[in-house]
Amino acid sequence: MISKIYITGCGGMLGEAFYKQFNDDYILSCTDKNVNEPWLSFLDFRDFSAFRKDVFDFQPDYLFHLGAFTDLEFCEINPEATYRNNTSAVKAVVEIANNLDIPILYISTAGIFNGEKEYYTEWDIPDPLGVYANSKYLAEKYVIENAARYLVCRAGWMMGGGPWKDKKFIQKIMKQIGEGAKEIHVVTDKNGTPTYTHDFARNVKLLIEDGVSGLFNMVCEGQTSRYEIATELIKILGIDIKIIPVDSSYFKEYFAPRPACERLINKNLNSLGLNIMRDWQVALREYIEIYYL
Q: Are strands 194-196 and 104-109 parallel, antiparallel or unpaired?
A: unpaired
8 Å CB contact between 87 and 141: no
In this structure, what are the phi and psi dihedrals at residue 85, rounded to the nearest 5 degrees? -80, -45
CA angle 148, 153, 156 (to 5 degrees): 160
Which of helix, strand or coil describes residue 187? strand
pLDDT tens, position by position, for the chain (293 residues)? 789 999 999 999 999 999 999 999 999 999 999 999 999 999 999 999 999 999 999 999 999 999 999 999 999 999 999 999 999 999 999 999 999 999 999 999 999 999 999 999 999 999 999 999 999 999 999 999 999 999 999 999 999 999 999 999 999 999 999 999 999 999 999 999 999 999 999 999 999 999 999 999 999 999 899 999 999 999 999 999 999 999 999 999 999 999 999 999 999 999 999 999 999 999 999 999 999 98
Q: Topology of 4-161+194-223+263-278 in CATH?
A: Rossmann fold (3.40.50)
Which of helix, strand or coil describes residue 266? coil
Q: How far is CA 55 from CA 34, 64, 227, 236, 247, in A?
A: 18, 11, 43, 43, 46
